[in-house]
Structure formats: C-alpha cells, structure tokens
Amino acid sequence: SRFSGLFRRCFPVGITNNRLTIRAGSATTSSGTRSTLPANFGKQCKEELWSEYNYSVGEAVQRTKAAMVTLLRRNPEIQPLLAILQAGEDDSILEINKKIAGKVGLNVTQICLATGCSEDEIVEELLKLNNDPKVHGVYLHLPAASLTSPVLGALNPEKDVDGMTDLNMGRLVRGDASEGFVPPVAGAVLDLLGKHVKS
C-alpha cells in the first residue's frame, strides 16, 4: 500500500484480554519506549473482533478493486502484473495472496525456484523481472535467509511491493514514505489501529 505526505510509525502491538497494548516509541528514555498505552475494546467478544477484521479486509479489497478499475479506465493499455518470486513449495499464505490479487483484478505470475536455490539464481531472476516492462511489481516469497543485501539490492525499488529494498526502507525510516512503499503488514496494522482510535 502507498500513502503520501504522512509519516507513520509502526508500533509493536499485542492483544490480551480484549485490550490492545501499544508500545509508543520515544527518544526521551534510555529504553526507547514510553509506558504502555492500553486501548480497551470494552466487552467485545472475539467473534465481534474477527467480524470487524473480516469487514476491514473486505473493505480494503473493495477500495483496491475500485482503484484498479479507475486505473484501467485511464490507462487501458496497462495490464497490472505482480510477479511472485518464491523458493520451494506453495503454502497457504501464498495462496491467500494470489486469491486476494485475483479479487482486485491484478494479474499474477509465479516464478518457482528450487528450495535450496543460490543467491545468484535469485539475483538473476530478479534482474529479468526488473527488465520486463510487463511486470509492475515483485513480491519476494523467500525464506528470511535468502533476503540478503545482494538480493534486496538487485530488486528495482519501483517494483518492490513490500518496501524491502534499502532505498524504500530508508525512505520509510526517514519519514519520506510518499516516494516508496510501506510494507503491507505495517500499513494494515496502522489502518486497523486508526479504525479503533476513531471508534
């Protein structure tokens, strides 16, 4: 997800006994955090929380779908394509990502490398994706050990949908995220927190 003009921070979050606990960052203490800020959800049961979560996901899918329709009306020659580069077998998270991409009208191509592929093989594939004008975004579905500096350095920051390249991460840390991508998990957490603050 992208946002412009706003600096957002990602706070560590935990839920216990229907209370959302947020650690707020601060440069004033030696530990780097202030006291914990509780946000009480009252007596909502877990089913209500999951229902609201499912509504939020559905709402995000509908907003994205509408944005995609607008994009395609303005630029009918563009056929947005997300390339998923993975090492190893499919898993449930990958299937969920492909399903949601399909719901919003995003074309997906999947490049499957061997489980034990080398760093050079990953970089070679990334360079091909960088140079492919049909590919608009790249999602790295790789083990953490494969996300090395050379691998992340090989990915074109303009196609980095997770905001993992050094350039995009640096922009986010500096508060200049309007030029890059916010990691989707961080963006989703911030959106959910924003909804609970409003209610």
Count of the separate structural domains present in the chain: 1
The reply to whether 67 falls in a domain is: no
The reply to whether 114 falls in a domain is: yes
What 3-state DSSP class applies to 160?
strand
30-to-25, 124, 184 alpha-carbon distances in Å:
11, 44, 30
Structural domain boundaries enclosing 145: 79-161
Please report the pLDDT score of residue 125 as a whole number.
97
pLDDT at 180 over 80: no
The reply to whether 130 falls in a domain is: yes
* Sequential DSSP letters for 88-141: SS--HHHHHHHHHHHHTT-EEEEEEEPTT--HHHHHHHHHHHHH-TT--EEEEE
Query: What are the tens digits of pLDDT across the range 128-144?
Result: 999 999 999 999 999 99
- Tell me the whole-structure pTM to 2 decimals: 0.65
Q: How far apart are alpha carbons 90 and 181 in whole angstroms?
A: 25
As annotated, the active-site residues are: 99
Residue 97 CB contacts under 8 Å (≥ 6 apart), including other chains: 84, 139, 141
Which CATH number fits the domain that encloses residue 115? 3.40.50.10860
Query: What are the tens digits of pLDDT across the range 30-41?
Result: 344 433 434 444
